[in-house]
Amino acid sequence: MANKHSMPALTGLRGLAAIWVLLFHVWDAAGPREWLVTLFGYSHNMQYVVTCGWAGVQMLFVLSAFLLASQFVRANESERPQPAWRGYYLRRLLRVFPAYYLQLGLLLLIAFVIQGQQIMRLEELPYYLTMWFAPPPVGLGTPPEINKVWWTLPIELAFYLLLPFFSGLLRWRYRYVVFALSLLIMISWRWSSLSFFPNGNSPSVLMQLPGSFDSFGLGMVAALLHHHFYVEAPSQASRQAYLSRLKKLALAALLVLWGLLIWITYGVENYWKVSFMFFSWSPIYNSVAAVWVLLAAADSSRLLLPLKSRPVFYLGMISYGIYIWHYPIISWVSQIPLVANYDGYKFVPLLLLTLLFTFIAASASWHLLERRAVDFGSRLKTT
């Protein structure tokens, strides 16, 4: 399966990012609890392995920006016409909306028929149909309670819509401009949110597209770096030199990631207010993510073998379904007597059942709907 994909390691990385988010929500549902591991006579709290799973969302943002920006970078650097906007937008909409509409319909049906609840008012329908339920001042609505992970979907959708307008900057000579602009947008939004907007300290406000623009900006910078140093390398020797430096940088990035996870686990109270952590943690983390995206895109290291394995690659293929289905499934599984009446810490049984049912739902979504929509979009001839 994986050998038919141009960048199988990137697909595997997407799957692991989605699973990381799932782990975080399972841990939260099971009840926050320290994970103490004794090494060399000392107890270490390893809970950050799961408590920072929300950062998988930012990894997904970096990945999306890299993959989508790459097509514009290739066109710009080779002086070919850029991808047609009509085709680009149709393919993006076909990728995100069919599975989302299916889930929206099923969740409404389940709530009404089985639970006897009306979980959406009629006047809210336009917000849900357009996926524009972002809070003001970006959107028109409020984050949905139907599926709490949906609040990130308008962020991704907004980037899809705006990317073609940034495409002129996706040239090697503008790499520092893209980097600086993405940081400036993120810092300005976060500071103004805390200072001027009602409920500005809410993650759903702070992390809207401007507040998450460092994730997308570093993904775009990574696309420029990949094209310049790998795709358009002047010789095989220069490409190998780049890969050698990249592998060393990726190993160093793992140490940085470890430090970042410990830092935010013990200093999280400073993350949602004006502080050094609030403005620096995200760009540093996204830089780590960008390094691993670059290594996965080059696809030439033994470090990547787990990402290219068939199980992990398949998780990447169905990652969108994993992301949108895992949260309601956690809610349902929590009510199963086997879990609800479990005498002990519920994380393990909740995790195993959530993984099982999420895998089934995501696989069905991919094979019955998403793959067909993607194939249809790839066959579209638009100008």
Only one residue has tokens 């103490």, namely 36
pLDDT single digits (tens) 22-76: 999 999 999 877 777 766 666 667 788 888 999 999 999 999 999 999 999 999 9
**pLDDT recorded at residue 286:** 98
Domain count, the chain: 1
DSSP 42: E
What's the rounded Cα separation, in Å, for the pair 9 and 222?
15
Which pTM value belongs to this model? Answer: 0.93
**pLDDT classification of 200: cutoffs 50, 70, 90:** low
Average pLDDT over the chain reads 89
**pLDDT recorded at residue 184:** 97
What own/partner pairs with CB < 8 Å and gap ≥ 24 does 254-263 have?
254/288, 256/284, 256/288, 257/285, 257/288, 260/284, 260/285, 260/288, 261/48, 261/49, 261/52, 262/48
**216 membership: H or E segment, kind and range:** helix 213-226
Between 378 and 170, the more confident residue is 170
Q: Which of 85-99, 134-148, 192-206 comes out lowest in average pLDDT?
A: 134-148
Only one residue has tokens 């199988």, namely 8
| Beta-ladder partners of 43 | 38
101 neighbors 125 (Cβ within 8 angstroms): no
What's the rounded Cα separation, in Å, for the pair 309 and 290?
21
What's the length of the chain? 383
**pLDDT recorded at residue 43:** 67
349 neighbors 52 (Cβ within 8 angstroms): no
Would the pLDDT of 4 be above 50?
no
What's the rounded Cα separation, in Å, for the pair 36 and 172?
47
Between 214 and 142, the more confident residue is 214
The candidate with the shortest Cα–Cα distance to 325, out of 21, 52, 114, is 21
**pLDDT recorded at residue 138:** 66
pLDDT single digits (tens) 278-293: 999 999 999 999 999 9
**pLDDT recorded at residue 141:** 65
Cis-peptide into 137, omega within 30 deg = yes
Please give the distance of CA 39 from its chain centroid, rounded to a whole number: 32
Please give the distance of CA 293 from its chain centroid, rounded to a whole number: 12
The candidate with the shortest Cα–Cα distance to 17, out of 316, 373, 277, is 316
332-361 burial, b if ≥16 CB within 10 A, otherwise e? ebbeeeebeeeeeebbebbbebbbebbbeb
Distances (CA, A) of 279 to 66, 262, 272, 273: 22, 17, 10, 9
What's the rounded Cα separation, in Å, for the pair 24 and 261?
13
Domain, as residue range, for 29: 2-379
What's the rounded Cα separation, in Å, for the pair 296 and 46?
26
What's the rounded Cα separation, in Å, for the pair 327 and 98?
19
Percent of the chain with pLDDT over 70: 92
Would the pLDDT of 1 be above 70?
no
pLDDT single digits (tens) 273-332: 888 999 999 999 999 999 999 999 998 778 888 999 999 999 999 999 999 999 999 999
